[in-house]
Amino acid sequence: MHKEDSLFRLDGRVAVIAGAASGIGRASAFGLARAGAIAICADIDPQGAEKVAVEIREAEGQAEAVALDITDEAAVEAAVGNIRQQHRRIDVLVSTPAVNVRKPLLSYTASEFDKVVGLNLKGTFLIARAVARVMDEQRSGSIVLMSSIRSITTEPGQGVYSATKAGLVQLARTFAAELGPVGVRVNCVAPGVVETPLTQPIKSRPEWYQAYAQKNALGRWASADEMAGPIVFLASDASSYVTGAVLFVDGGWTAIDGRFQPPV
């Protein structure tokens, strides 16, 4: 193996992936396992998590499944404690669960607000805090939180979702500031438009789907699998001096105007 290749290897490391049953979480679990990590597939859907773990093992990777609702503080603490007890350490956390209620802010209900903030921001905080405590004691580790292009650009109907994704950036930066002295790194991945169960309602409307595709420089949506490489990078020693950062994986969405192709 070339030295450069080994930078991206995660052999023997324990990686917890929250939201592993589908979408970016599933792709992350496969990517981390291919890099040699033991993928702990955690999800509120235990059957889905087990299915992914089985598929990883069938592909000759190492994986286990854990039922976990990241909005349940006691469940999070218990699950992280059990993982630590079994494996003696946790080297990587990738947290992907999110929900969106698309509607104007003036008609948003308090319960809808609580639902979105409760999962996207509070739930992510709970799992990150629990794992960070383990990493703080072992003085190593990498945490990857899932932000979004909506952390810096929004549109009608995305207000609360966007606020949570912006909040996650500051949460990650603060974790990075507090954990840096013990060698724990914390970063965000900010996807653009990715084909996942969360975005399925958009795909079912061709004009909406195409408008988003045409907004970015590559002119297309991403597959969930295209998020795995950046996540493996941030989990691995290849990013050993990267912390408190936001890696935009958006096909150029935030780099270009995208509304009109002028004659040049």
Catalytic residues: 161
Q: What one-character DSSP code corresponds to residue 197?
A: G
Angle at 66 between CA 18 and CA 139, to 5 degrees: 60
Q: Give the β-pairing of 141-146 and 38-43.
A: unpaired
End-to-end CA distance of the chain: 46
Task: Please state, in angstroms and rounded to a whole number, the distance separating the CA atoms of residues 228 and 32.
Answer: 8
Buried b (16+ CB within 10 A) or exposed e, 72-94: ebebbeebbeebbeebeebbbbb
Looking at the DSSP assignment, which residues form a beta bridge with residue 186? 143
Contact in structure between 166 and 223 (CB atoms under 8 Å): no
Contact in structure between 153 and 161 (CB atoms under 8 Å): no
